[in-house]
Chain A
Amino acid sequence: MDAHAAAHGHEDHAHPTPGLYGKIAAVLFVLTALEVLAFEVGRRPDWPMHALIEPLVVPILLILSAAKFALVAMFYMHLKQDSKLFSNLFVWPLIIAAAIILALIVLHAYWIKASF
Chain B
Amino acid sequence: MAHAATAHADSGHVDEHHWTSTGLNSRKIAIWGFIGSECLFFASLISTYLVYKGKSLVGPLPHTESQCMLDGKMQTCEAIFEIPLVTFGTAVLLFSSFFVVLALYGAQKGDRKMLLTWLSATVLCGLFFVGMQVYEFYHFYHKGLGYSTNLFGSTFYTLTGFHGSHVTLGVIWLSTMLYLAVRGKLTPDKSLNLEMAALYWHFVDVVWIVIFPVVYLMR
Contacts and interface: CB of A to CB of B under 8 A. Distances in A.
Nearest to B51: A108
Interface in A79-99: 83, 85-86, 89-90, 92-94, 96-98
B21 A2 contact: yes
Given A72-B206, A93-B36, A110 B51 contact: yes
B97 interface: yes
Contacts of B56: 116
B186 interface: no
A11 interface: yes
A28 interface: yes
Contacts of B176: none
Contacts of A68: 94, 206, 209
Contact of B91 (A9, A32, A38, A104): A32
A93 B23 CA distance: 23
Interface size class of A (residues with CB under 8 A): 35 or more
A96 B217 CA distance: 24
Contacts of A6: 21-23
Interface in A20-50: 21-22, 24-25, 28-29, 32, 35-36, 38-40, 42-43
Interface residues of B, number: 56
Nearest to A40: B83
A73 to B, nearest CB: 6
A22 B102 CA distance: 9
B73 interface: no
B5 interface: no
A61 B219 CA distance: 11
Nearest to B102: A18
Contacts of B48: 104
B54 interface: yes
A77 B199 contact: yes
> Is chain A's interface secondary structure helix, strand, loop, or mixed overall?
helix
A10 B54 contact: no
Interface stretch (B59-67, B123-131, B134-142, B157-165): B59-67
Contact of B95 (A2, A25, A89, A110): A25
Interface of B: 21-25, 28-29, 32-33, 35-37, 39-40, 42-44, 46-48, 50-51, 53-56, 61-64, 83, 87, 90-91, 94-95, 97-98, 101-102, 105, 108, 152, 199, 202-203, 205-206, 209-210, 212-214, 217-219
26 contacts: A2-B22, A5-B22, A6-B21, A10-B23, A32-B91, A36-B87, A39-B83, A40-B83, A42-B219, A43-B219, A62-B213, A65-B214, A76-B202, A86-B28, A89-B32, A92-B36, A93-B40, A100-B43, A101-B43, A101-B46, A101-B50, A104-B47, A110-B55, A115-B54, A116-B56, A116-B152
Interface of A: 2, 5-6, 8-11, 13, 15, 18, 21-22, 24-25, 28-29, 32, 35-36, 38-40, 42-43, 57-58, 61-62, 64-65, 68-69, 72-73, 75-77, 83, 85-86, 89-90, 92-94, 96-98, 100-101, 104-105, 108, 110-111, 113-116
